[in-house]
Amino acid sequence: MSTSPGAARRPSGNGLASIVVPAFNEEANLPHLYSRVCSALASGGWTTFELIIVDDGSTDGTLAVIKELQREDPRVHHISLSRNFGHQAALLAGMTHSRGDVLISMDSDLQHPPELLPRMLRLWQEGYEVVHTIKRSDPSANLFRRAVSRAFYRLFGMLSGLPLGFGQSDFRLLDARVARELCRFPEQHKFLRGLVSWMGFNEIAIEYEVAPRLKGRPTYTLRRRLGFHIDAILSFSIIPLRFFTILGVLVSVPTGLYGLLAFTLGLYGFLVGYPKWIVPGWASLAIFVTFLGGLQMIGIGLLGEYLGRVFEQTKGRPPYLVRETSLPARGEPNERRDLTQLNRGEGTAGTPVHRTDV
């Protein structure tokens, strides 16, 4: 997946790069992540960056580790959510508070290789506004998980019409303008991968090998993954509702003919007598009615899923709540630190801002 940059090449000088990392119970991985991110960006000649780690309601020492890194390096910032709101909400929190000219989101378990960051930033300098990443292989995924993922991406592509290929993840680069527009979307249950493709900015895709998880166990359970897939499909298509409309028409026509036949044979049996080949009571009729009742229940359930999302949207609740952060939200005072100080590593990590925000 690649499109022409369609824009003038950006200056070779560094802008501020925001690296946004959601973390849920990742205290053992964060020091390694910090070290590799710093090394990768330094090797690529990228000296001005901020590492925003979003603590998504962790129950271990994740927040304490982030604050320790922050004391050692003022380029590290923390956002602590009031509870676990999920991966997509944590990403949005980091995007909303980022101050960079370009933003890269990645996971904290080091399955997204930080060594790819300089290449992504070079593509941004060439004029691309979105850089997707695609997995070549994922040794941590079993056969069932790969089959479910492939089926999801194929179904999502057919229903939404968006060119979202198998292997995409939330390891991506966004120009600051794209990130701002993405954060403005008012809808609940944001499926960021689909929204970024839907926005239509100049994009390119690069491949990478998924590394084994460094430490700890995966926190993204099968239940969460299936819920994520359902939210994605229902957020981008009403075709499932149309499917039941079409199915209703296809079922009602033969049912009407079947009813006409039953009425005719019943009238014949009443006047003349039932032929031997007709079994009074017709067990097949009961089976057919049960089948139709099952279809109706499925259709009502699907309609309920859509109505539930409308209900969530009308309540207007924020997608996340911030317990404390060392960064102001975009548009607040002191939005951006002087890059000269950031280059020299001057200043303190900042006094945490305790706040509740969207």
Q: Supply the pTM of this predicted model.
A: 0.68
In our burial notation (b when 16+ CB lie closer than 10 A, e otherwise), range 240-277 reads beeebeeeeeebeeeeeeeeeeeeeeeeeeeeeeeeee
pLDDT tens digits along 164-205? 666 677 899 999 999 998 888 887 777 787 788 788 888 898
Instruction: Reply yes or no on whether the pLDDT at 119 is more than 60.
Output: yes
CB-based contact 40:202 (threshold 8 Å): no
Quick check: helix, strand or coil at residue 85?
coil
Quick check: helix, strand or coil at residue 50?
strand
Q: Percent of the chain, pLDDT > 90? A: 30
**pLDDT recorded at residue 265:** 67
Q: Which residue has the tokens 């296809």?
A: 250
pLDDT tens digits along 13-28? 568 999 999 999 999 9
Quick check: helix, strand or coil at residue 94?
helix
pLDDT tens digits along 248-280? 666 666 766 666 776 676 666 666 665 555 555
C-alpha to C-alpha distances, 144 to 88, 149, 151, 219, 222, nearest whole angstrom: 23, 9, 11, 17, 10
In our burial notation (b when 16+ CB lie closer than 10 A, e otherwise), range 184-199 reads eeeebbbbbbbbbbee
Quick check: helix, strand or coil at residue 119?
helix
C-alpha 36/C-alpha 200 separation (Å) is: 32
Based on C-alpha coordinates, what's the Rg of the chain?
Answer: 27
**pLDDT recorded at residue 177:** 92
pLDDT tens digits along 296-324? 767 776 777 777 667 666 767 788 899 99
C-alpha 130/C-alpha 174 separation (Å) is: 5
> Which neighbouring-strand residues pair with 173?
104, 131
Handedness of CA 328, 329, 331, 332 (dihedral sign): negative
C-alpha 178/C-alpha 201 separation (Å) is: 8
Ranges of each domain in the chain: 17-221+318-354, 239-315
CB-based contact 317:186 (threshold 8 Å): no
**Whose CA is closest to 204, among 10, 350, 6, 46?**
6
Token pair of 230, please?
């359902």
**Whose CA is closest to 347, among 76, 67, 35, 21?**
76
- Per-residue confidence at 286, pLDDT binned at 50, 70, 90? low
pLDDT tens digits along 222-244? 566 666 666 666 666 666 666 66
DSSP 260-281: HHHHHHHHHHHHT---TT--TT
Superfamily of domain 17-221+318-354: Spore Coat Polysaccharide Biosynthesis Protein SpsA; Chain A (3.90.550.10)
**pLDDT recorded at residue 52:** 96
> Which neighbouring-strand residues pair with 72?
none
pLDDT tens digits along 30-70? 999 999 999 999 998 888 999 999 999 999 999 999 999 99
